[in-house]
């Protein structure tokens, strides 16, 4: 196989919003395709109608788009490639199930749900190892089969079709990460291939699609490892070549149990909505089970594409750390500004400001004003969703703060009032640029016998409502004369 023939796929089921582990699978496949100049395919495994979750498909595609994981093929929808949907390919699965029936690798099973439940209860009572099916219909005589068929016809239901799994021996396959893996066939069931509603099971649809989509490498989470021997048997029964398999290491929470919501891990769209940068998420997820050299942490998209190989995937579980993600987000937050200027930060923060500023602030926001505020708040923004909180005082008409903040250290109420009055007078005359403001206010502090820190601290609270805010003079310049004077008046009233 040459490298440009590499074809990989991401095959999520729309049963929920994709979580970290899920998108890590997508990312590894995408990176491998891009590294090899191969193809990345997205296939939605939606044949289990009962487990479909409203909105899950959109969330899957949104997550991929947000991370920039583009796919290369699929049915065209509105001039773009849509993903493949298994629910639109049912005929294929039926055809190949039929082939398995015809070549003796599958059989119809007429057992009712009641019988199956009873059977399982009996097995449990006998303490036999739990198997989901006792192969009751596997060797029915022709006569019995005819009786069952007639019965079904009367009731108007279809039988399920099961795979005739070998009872003895072993099934071995090679995993690119873990080496040879062997399962005893006695552990495998006569799994259902086609359900009575005519829909295939995951196993059947997955194998048929991977074959016809000419998937070369199946990279999926290791929870699917126990499905693989069943798939191997199906490939053989259908006379098809096996793809290569690579089962990705588990992702654990900091307490070393399987990563879950309990650890605060969210769906990818939640991370997006919390204001993480896709660049940071991409880098972070790539290191969950893959490493370049064990010491390099910051590797951007291009670097990942260049270096990503299956050899670099680890056998051992990866541990998810929120601290590391936050740290990485900080790095990329600075990087987007270093590389593309503050305008990049502004553009990304804008939707968060539009959504998160108090409703009293007029929308749409004035872009020009936002772009003047952005450089002042950007260093305090760790997640884009922090932006409204940090920038709020630039936008609201009235500040809401604890009046006690106006009593800065060593300054009494009367003195504070005097200083605010004096500032007001001076500021009326002053040109509102940071340099002039600084000069004017330093002089004033001297005249009032204030330490500069005292006067500046007082004014900071008056104009921003906070003790910790961006540099005072730039802040005042952006706020402008009118607003500053109004706020000083308001502060005087509070004192
Ligand atoms: N539909 C399965 C999932 O939701 C796909 C597993 C596989 O990649 O084969 O993860």
User: In a 10 Å sphere around its CB, with 0-12 CB exposed, 13-18 middle and 19+ buried, how is residue 468 labelled?
Assistant: exposed
- Ligand 1: centre distance to CA 11 (Å): 5
Q: Which helix (H) or strand (E) holds 180?
A: strand 179-184
Specify the ligand 1 atom closest to the Cα of 9.
8
Ligand 1 atom with minimal separation from the 15 CA: 4
The ligand 1 atom at the shortest distance from the C-alpha of residue 218 is 8
Inform me whether the pLDDT recorded for 259 exceeds 60: yes
Kindly calculate the radius of gyration of the chain based on its CA atoms and give it in whole angstroms: 32
Residues 419 and 446 in one domain: yes
> What does the block give as tokens for 110?
């007429």
Domain shared by 79 and 50, yes or no: yes
Domain boundary among 357, 379, 397: 397
**Ligand 1 pocket list (CB less than 6 A):** 11-13, 45, 206, 220, 224
| Cα gap 195→201, rounded to integer Å | 7
Closest CA to 288 of 262, 267, 308: 308
428 and 374 within one domain: no
294 pLDDT above the threshold of 90: no
Based on the domain organization, do 37 and 132 belong to the same domain? no
Contact between 233 and 166 (Cβ < 8 Å): yes
Secondary structure class of 340 (helix, strand, coil): helix
Structure pTM? Answer: 0.93
pLDDT at site 28: 98
Q: Of the ranges 110-119, 173-182, 350-359, which one carries the lowest mean pLDDT score?
A: 110-119
How far, rounded to the nearest angstrom, does the alpha carbon of residue 126 sit from its chain's CA centroid?
A: 45
Is 56 within the bounds of a domain? Answer: yes
Domain count, the chain: 4
State in Å: Cα 381 to ligand 1 middle: 37
206 belongs to a structural domain:
no
Is 323 a member of any domain? yes
Mark whether 430 and 477 lie in a shared domain: yes
From the CA of 56, how far away is ligand 1's center (Å)?
Answer: 15
pLDDT over 70 at 369, yes or no: yes
Cα of 22 vs centre of ligand 1, distance in Å, is 9
Q: Binning pLDDT at 50, 70 and 90, where does residue 264 land?
A: confident
User: Do 332 and 345 share a domain, yes or no?
Assistant: no
CA 224 to ligand 1: nearest atom:
6
What single string gives the DSSP state of each residue in 42-110?
EEE----GGG--TTHHHHHHHHHHHHT-------EETTEEPPEEGGG-HHHHHHHHHHHHHTTSEEEE-
Q: Considering only CA atoms, which residue is closest to atom 3 of ligand 1?
A: 12
CA of 132 to the centre of ligand 1 (A): 21
| Three-state secondary-structure class, residue 311 | helix
118 shares a domain with 36: no
Going from the Cα of 245 to the center of ligand 1, the distance in angstroms, rounded, reads 13
Question: Can you tell me which atom of ligand 1 is nearest the CA of 210?
Answer: 9
pLDDT reading at 92 higher than 90: yes
Q: Examine residue 322 and state whether it is found in any structural domain, yes or no.
A: yes
CATH number at residue 274: 3.40.50.620
Choosing from 290, 314, 339, the residue where a domain stops is 339
Structure tokens of 385?
């969703």
Cis previous bond, 364, omega within 30: yes
Rounded to whole angstroms, what are the CA distances from 39 to 7, 151, 159, 481? 5, 49, 38, 58
Residue 1 has pLDDT above 60, yes or no: no
Among candidate residues 43, 65, 46, 64, the one with its CA nearest the CA of residue 54? 46
Q: How far apart are CA 304 and CA 76, in angstroms?
A: 29
Please name which of 92, 79, 22 lies closest in space to residue 56, comparing C-alpha atoms.
22
Verify that 107 and 169 share a domain, yes or no.
yes
Buried residues in 189-213 as b, exposed as e (16+ CB within 10 A): ebbbbbbeeebbbbbbbbbbbbbeb
- Asked if residue 54 belongs to a domain, the reply is yes
Same domain assignment for residues 348 and 332: no
**Least confident span in 102-111, 112-121, 377-386:** 112-121
- Position 126 pLDDT exceeds 90: no
Q: What is the pLDDT of residue 153?
A: 78
Element (H, E) at 302: helix 301-307
- pLDDT for the residue 114: 87
Atom of ligand 1 minimally distant from the CA of 13:
4
Q: Which of 8, 10, 11, when mutated, tests ligand 1's pocket best, judged by the most ligand atoms within 8 Å of its CB?
A: 11
Arithmetic mean of pLDDT, 200-216: 98
CATH number where 179 lies: 3.90.800.10
Which tops the pLDDT comparison, 130 or 447?
447
Q: Whose CA is nearest to atom 10 of ligand 1?
A: 12
Say which CATH number the domain at 385 has.
1.10.8
Residue for token digits 């192969």? Answer: 135
Q: Which residues contact 89 (CB under 8 A, 6 or more apart)?
A: 205, 209
Average pLDDT taken over every residue of the chain: 95
Residue with tokens 């002053």: 430
Q: Are 97 and 186 part of one and the same domain?
A: yes
Please indicate, yes or no, if residue 240 is contained in any of the structural domains: no
Mean pLDDT computed over 46-62 = 94
What average pLDDT does this structure show over 21-36? Answer: 97
Per-residue pLDDT, averaged over 198-214, amounts to 97
Q: Which residues form the domain of 374? A: 341-397
Show which of 131, 161, 194 is a domain's final residue.
194
pLDDT of 17: 93
* Same domain? 321 vs 411: no
How many angstroms separate the alpha carbon of residue 174 from the centre of ligand 1?
19
The CATH code of the domain that includes 433 is 1.10.10.350
Residue 217 lies in a domain: no
Nearest residue to 248 via CA among 288, 305, 283, 307: 288
Question: Which residue is closest in CA terms to ligand 1's atom 2?
Answer: 12
Return the active site residues: 261
Tokens of 213: 């989509």
């Amino acid at each position: 196989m040459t490298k440009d023939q590499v074809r990989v796929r991401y095959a999520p089921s729309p049963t929920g919003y994709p979580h970290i582990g899920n998108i890590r699978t997508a990312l590894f496949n995408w990176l491998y395709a891009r590294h090899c100049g191969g193809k990345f395919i997205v296939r939605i495994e939606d044949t289990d109608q009962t487990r479909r979750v409203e909105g899950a498909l959109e969330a899957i595609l949104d997550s991929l788009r947000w991370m920039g994981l583009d796919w290369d093929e699929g049915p065209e929808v509105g001039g773009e490639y849509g993903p493949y949907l298994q629910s639109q390919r049912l005929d294929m699965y039926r055809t190949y199930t039929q082939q398995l029936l015809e070549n003796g690798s599958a059989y119809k099973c007429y057992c009712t749900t009641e019988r199956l439940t009873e059977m399982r209860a009996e097995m449990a009572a006998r303490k036999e190892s739990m198997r989901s099916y006792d192969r009751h219909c596997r060797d029915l005589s022709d006569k019995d089969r005819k009786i069952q068929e007639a019965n079904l016809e009367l009731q108007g239901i279809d039988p399920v079709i099961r795979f005739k799994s070998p009872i003895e021996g072993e099934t071995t396959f090679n995993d690119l990460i873990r080496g040879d893996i062997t399962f005893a066939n006695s552990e495998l069931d006569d799994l259902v291939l086609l359900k009575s509603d005519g829909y295939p099971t995951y196993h059947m649809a997955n194998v048929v699609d991977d074959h016809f989509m000419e998937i070369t490498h199946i990279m999926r989470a290791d929870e699917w490892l126990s499905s693989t021997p069943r798939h191997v048997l199906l490939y053989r029964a259908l006379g098809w070549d096996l793809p290569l398999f690579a089962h990705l290491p588990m992702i654990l929470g900091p307490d070393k149990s399987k990563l879950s919501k309990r650890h605060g891990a969210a769906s990818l769209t939640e991370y997006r909505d919390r204001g993480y940068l896709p660049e940071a998420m991409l880098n972070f997820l790539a290191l969950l089970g893959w490493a370049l050299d064990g010491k390099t942490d910051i590797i951007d998209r291009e670097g990942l594409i260049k270096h990503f190989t299956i050899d670099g995937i680890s056998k051992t579980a990866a541990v998810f750390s929120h601290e590391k993600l936050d740290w990485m987000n900080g790095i990329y937050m600075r990087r987007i500004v270093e590389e593309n200027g503050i305008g990049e930060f502004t553009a990304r923060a804008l939707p968060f400001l539009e959504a998160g500023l108090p409703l009293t602030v007029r929308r749409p926001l004035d872009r020009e004003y936002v772009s003047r505020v952005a450089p002042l708040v950007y260093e305090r923004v760790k997640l884009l969703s922090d932006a409204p909180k940090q920038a709020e005082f630039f936008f609201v008409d009235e500040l809401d703060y604890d009046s006690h903040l106006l009593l800065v250290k060593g300054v009494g109420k009367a003195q504070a009032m005097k200083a605010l009055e004096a500032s007001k007078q001076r500021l009326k005359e002053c040109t509102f640029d940071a340099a002039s403001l600084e000069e004017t206010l330093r002089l004033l502090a001297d005249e009032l016998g204030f330490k500069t820190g005292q006067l500046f601290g007082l004014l900071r609270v008056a104009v921003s409502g906070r003790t910790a805010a961006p540099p005072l003079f730039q802040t005042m310049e952006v706020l402008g004369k009118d607003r500053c004077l109004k706020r000083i008046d308001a502060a005087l009233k509070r004192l």
